[in-house]
Structure 1
Amino acid sequence: MTEVSSLTGRLLVASPSLADPNFARAVVLLLDHDGDGALGVVLNRPTPVGVADVLEPWARLTGSPDVVFQGGPVSLDAALGVAVVPGGADRAGGTDRAGGAEESAVLGWRRIHGAIGLVDLDAPPELLAAELGTLRIFAGYAGWAPGQLEEELAEGAWYVVESEPGDVSSPAPEGLWREVLRRQRGELAMFATYPDDAGLN
């Protein structure tokens, strides 16, 4: 099997030509990517459902907007918590002597990339309250079978760019697609001005 270069922690930004309505103008944070496939959450799909309505104990730790986000079309009844822990990258450790990932020094939080990680929503919120910088709750996720994401990338469906901790907690998530493209260098930044309706161009 071909070795897959992991894109874990990077952003997938939908190209204007991506026709799938689930991912039109989507910005996806990849939480896992290897030879077995990929998994991520869409960062710019807020729902009208308040976090307090479904996960009340965590509501006071979420930023604005304090709503549940639709993380993708898969398992919409499952919740994922993605949080930024300031300094979390420094406390997550590397690999242990056996070659496995070391446990995070922050209980209830597992580092994904830099200061971004997954929260154990079954843990008591008080365990993490002092550590969390920002928290977002996602219903569902986006998933790709082995080789599927690589095919979509080859077709030009996605742009792959670096993530920033602020992407997870953007106070204006609806504008994240343009914002992420605008901060890129060169030709990619020009796509930020692409009209919502290409027929108007």
Structure 2
Amino acid sequence: MTAQTLTGSLLVATPLLDEPPFRRSVILLLDHDDDGALGVVVNRAADLAVDRVLPDWSDTVNEPGVLFMGGPVGTDSALAVAEVIESADPPGWRECFGRIGLIDLDVPPELLVGAIQRMRIFAGYAGWSAGQLEGEITEGAWYVVESEPDDVFSLDPETLWRRVLRRQTDQLAYLATYPDDPTHN
């Protein structure tokens, strides 16, 4: 498996990865190559409305209109992940895969009107140095599965971990029923 094949994939935390901030997390890999990987946790909505921290962008983001906790790295910075309409190439846009990419939050939002189909803003990100993610996958910390465009923009992010596992066509689907606390099983 080459490093580039993981861009656009989801990392789904295995039950063995039971420590915050990655317990039951679903991470969308935005960039993955020989130098490392960068992604955002897509199922951790924060209790902070976008209009309180980035009011100019509050009309651009999708419901629920809150910041998402993208990961433990750079939590004082924000990444905007967007899906642009077909054939759009708006200013400040960097394609990651397909029509999903990053928007530069320094670009005035009015320059992007009509180009953005959906958008979420993440405080922080998850990052790995060269070879680190591959090691964690080998150790059994992550399942690597295909992403669907709706994953990053889910209206019910709290249930995404189970839903992503449930839609798998192999034994991973059974893990969707894994108890929150196996000692109470």
TM over 0.5: yes
Paired amino acid for 2:138: A
Q: What TM-score comes out, normalization by structure 2 length? A: 0.95
Q: Report the 3-state secondary structure (helix = DSSP H, G, I; strand = E; otherwise coil) of the residue aligned with 2:161.
A: helix
For 1:109-128, list aligned pairs within 5 A: 109-128=93-112
What's the CA shift for 1:77?
0.5
CA distance in 2, matches of 1:9, 1:38: 11
Aligned to 1:32: 31
Partner of 1:150: 134
Matched residue SS, 2:116: coil
Deviations 1:115-149 (A, max 9, x none): 21101111010111211111100000001111110
2:158 is equivalent to residue 168 of structure 1 = no
Partner in structure 2 of residue 95 of structure 1: none
Deviations 1:144-167 (A, max 9, x none): 111110110001110101111111
Letter in 1 for 2:150: G
Q: Distance in 1 between matches of 2:125 and 2:13?
A: 16
> Which residue does 1:43 correspond to in 2?
42
- Is 1:190–2:156 an aligned residue pair? no
Specify which structure has the higher proportion of strand: 2
- How far apart, in 2, do the equivalents of 1:154 and 1:80 lie? 28
The equivalent residue for 1:141 is 125
TM-score (norm 1): 0.88
* Post-superposition offset of 1:199: 1.2
RMSD (CA atoms): 1.5
Distance 1:169 1:5 in 2: 23
- The alignment status of 1:22 with 2:21, answered yes or no, reads yes
TM-aligned CA deviation for residue 6 of structure 1 = 3.5
CA distance in 2, matches of 1:6, 1:187: 22
1:108–1:127: 8 Å Cα contact kept in structure 2? Answer: no
Identity of aligned residues (%): 58
Number of residues of Structure 1 aligned to a counterpart in Structure 2: 185
Specify the code of the residue in structure 1 equivalent to 2:60: L
Specify the alignment match of 1:178 in structure 2: 162
Unaligned runs of 5+ in 1: 92-103
Displacement of 1:31? 1.0
Instruction: Identify the residue that residue 98 of structure 1 maps to in structure 2.
Output: none
Deviates more, 1:45-54 or 1:108-117: 108-117
Larger radius of gyration: 1
Distance 1:186 1:4, change over 3 A: closer
Residue 58 of structure 1 deviates from its aligned partner by 0.5
